[in-house]
Amino acid sequence: MQRNIRIFFEKTGRAKYISHLDMTRCWTRTFNRAGLPMWYTEGFNPHLYMTFALPLSLGFEGLCESFDARLIADIPLDEVKERLNQVLPTGLQISRVADQKMNAREIKWADYELCLECENPKSVHEKLTEFLNRDSIVVEKRTKKGVKDMELNGLYTVLESSFDETSVLLKLRLATGVETNVNPMLLLENSPVYAEILQTSVRRTAVLTADLNNFE
């Protein structure tokens, strides 16, 4: 008996510094410690079957991360969640375990929260607002085939923008997925205020389909 499942989890705090490669190792150890019957690939180097829909950038927090795995026994999904959460390290927490519904190719957008600490938040907010409202923002993006120019207009939406005494808060929706993937730092690093930012915190809060439904 095999059952394909999708595990949704949060990655916060110090766990945001765990790289994607180390995350796969971490989950392998976690499944082993939980004693769950999982499917492993065949061949000379068997490894736990895991497929991440949208790997998170190093240093980012995430509230809606997910990956696929495969059970080889009939175990209630609530029990899978409970057993894994009991042995996960600090900063990783499973929110739910479900049967796979959507294909990862349906992912088209992701929402992010950025907290930008700076000495003059009001000025930074004004200049950043002007920058994000431009009709055209062309940046250089590194790809596997080299560096290419990329027009960001139409690939992002400012959902919310504010500031307080110490920082600027941005909530952005960015094109994300197999075909186009815009990292929020690509926008920020090409803005006129990047040099004024003392510290940046980034958190992914939603992964969405083309019609803005949550990825399931």
Please count the other Cβ atoms lying within 10 Å of the Cβ belonging to residue 164: 11
> Which pLDDT score, from 0 to 100, does residue 199 have?
96
pLDDT for res 161 = 97
pLDDT of residue 62 exceeding 90, the answer is: yes
**Single pTM value for the model:** 0.93
pLDDT (average), residues 6-28: 95
Alpha-carbon gap, residue 61 to 112, rounded angstroms = 10
- Pinpoint the alpha helices (H) of 86-199: 121-132, 184-189
Q: Quick check: 46 pLDDT over 90?
A: no
pLDDT at 1: 79
Instruction: Taking residues 39-50, report their average pLDDT.
Output: 86
The CATH number of 105-209 is: 3.30.310
Q: Which pLDDT tens digit goes with each residue over 92-124?
A: 999 999 999 999 999 999 999 999 999 999 999
Residue 6 has pLDDT above 90, yes or no: yes
Q: What sign for the dihedral angle of Cα 28, 216, 214, 173?
A: positive
In eight-state DSSP terms, residue 145 is T
Give the number of C-alpha atoms closer than 13 A to the C-alpha of residue 52, restricted to the C-beta side.
Answer: 13
> Where does the pLDDT of residue 27 fall: very low under 50, low under 70, confident under 90, or very high at 90 and above?
very high
Q: What is the pLDDT of residues 174-187, one digit of tens each?
A: 999 988 899 999 99
Look at residue 146 in the predicted model and tell me its pLDDT: 78
Q: For the domain 3-101, what is the CATH code?
A: 3.30.70.580
Q: What is the domain partition of the chain in residue ranges? A: 3-101, 105-209
pLDDT surpasses 80 at 143: no
Q: Which of 141, 143, 124 is nearest to 191 (CA)?
A: 124
Whether 22 contacts 16, CB under 8 Å: no
